[in-house]
Amino acid sequence: MPTGEAATDIQPHSGASSVSYVGATKRYGDSELAAVDDLTLEVPAGEICVLVGPSGCGKTTAMRMVNRTVEMSAGDILVGGESVRSKDAAQLRREIGYVIQQIGLFPHRTITENIGTVPQLLGWKRDRIRARSAELLALVGLDPDLGDRYPAQLSGGQQQRVGVARALVADPLVMLMDEPFGAIDPINRERLQNEFLRLQAQVRKTVLFVTHDIDEAIKMGDRIAVMREGGRVEQYATPAELLMAPANEFVEDFVGADRALKRLALMRVSDIDLWEAPLATVGQPTAELRAKLDAPDVEVPYPLLVDDQRRPLGWLSERDLAAPTVPERPDSPLGPVLDRDDVMRDALADMLQGGAQYAAVTDAGGAVVGVLSVEIISEFLVSSAAKVDEHPAVERPLGAEGSDD
Ligand X SMILES: Nc1ncnc2c1ncn2[C@@H]1O[C@H](COP(=O)(O)OP(=O)(O)O)[C@@H](O)[C@H]1O
Q: Which residues contact ligand X (rule: CB under 6 A)?
A: 28, 35, 55-61
Task: Please say which residue, 111 or 251, places its beta carbon nearer to ligand X.
Answer: 251
Binding partner of residue 141 among Mg ion, ligand X, none, CB under 5 to 8 Å per kind? none
Distance in Å, CB of 48 to Mg ion, minimum: 17
Task: Please say which residue, 56 or 256, places its beta carbon nearer to ligand X.
Answer: 56
Do the beta carbons of residue 150 and residue 142 sit within 8 Å? Answer: no
Binding partner of residue 35 among Mg ion, ligand X, none, CB under 5 to 8 Å per kind? ligand X
Task: Please say which residue, 72 or 137, places its beta carbon nearer to Mg ion.
Answer: 72
Binding partner of residue 366 among Mg ion, ligand X, none, CB under 5 to 8 Å per kind? none
Distance in Å, CB of 198 to Mg ion, minimum: 26
Nearest to 262 by CA among 213, 194, 205, 226: 213
Binding partner of residue 58 among Mg ion, ligand X, none, CB under 5 to 8 Å per kind? ligand X
Question: What is the rounded distance in angstroms from the CA atom of residue 274 to the CA atom of residue 235?
Answer: 33
Binding partner of residue 16 among Mg ion, ligand X, none, CB under 5 to 8 Å per kind? none
CA 23 to chain CA centroid, nearest Å: 29
Distance in Å, CB of 22 to ligand X, minimum: 19
Task: Please say which residue, 17 or 60, places its beta carbon nearer to Mg ion.
Answer: 60
Distance in Å, CB of 213 to Mg ion, minimum: 12
Nearest to 284 by CA among 244, 235, 229, 328: 328
Distance in Å, CB of 93 to ligand X, minimum: 18
What is the sign of the dihedral through the CA atoms of 92, 94, 100 and 105?
positive
Task: Please say which residue, 73 or 332, places its beta carbon nearer to ligand X.
Answer: 73
Burial 93-127 (b: 16+ CB within 10 A, else e): bbbbbbbbbebebeeeebbbbbbbebbeebebeee
Binding partner of residue 309 among Mg ion, ligand X, none, CB under 5 to 8 Å per kind? none
Nearest to 278 by CA among 255, 252, 297: 297
> How do strand 48-52 and strand 206-211 relate by DSSP bridges?
parallel
Distance in Å, CB of 280 to Mg ion, minimum: 59
Binding partner of residue 92 among Mg ion, ligand X, none, CB under 5 to 8 Å per kind? none
Do the beta carbons of residue 137 and residue 147 sit within 8 Å? Answer: yes
Distance in Å, CB of 133 to ligand X, minimum: 30
How many angstroms separate the first and last alpha carbons of the chain? 44
Binding stretches for Mg ion (CB under 5 A): 60
Task: Please say which residue, 46 or 53, places its beta carbon nearer to ligand X.
Answer: 53
Other beta carbons within 10 angstroms of residue 196's beta carbon come to 26
Nearest to 141 by CA among 83, 67, 86, 191: 191
Task: Please say which residue, 60 or 362, places its beta carbon nearer to Mg ion.
Answer: 60
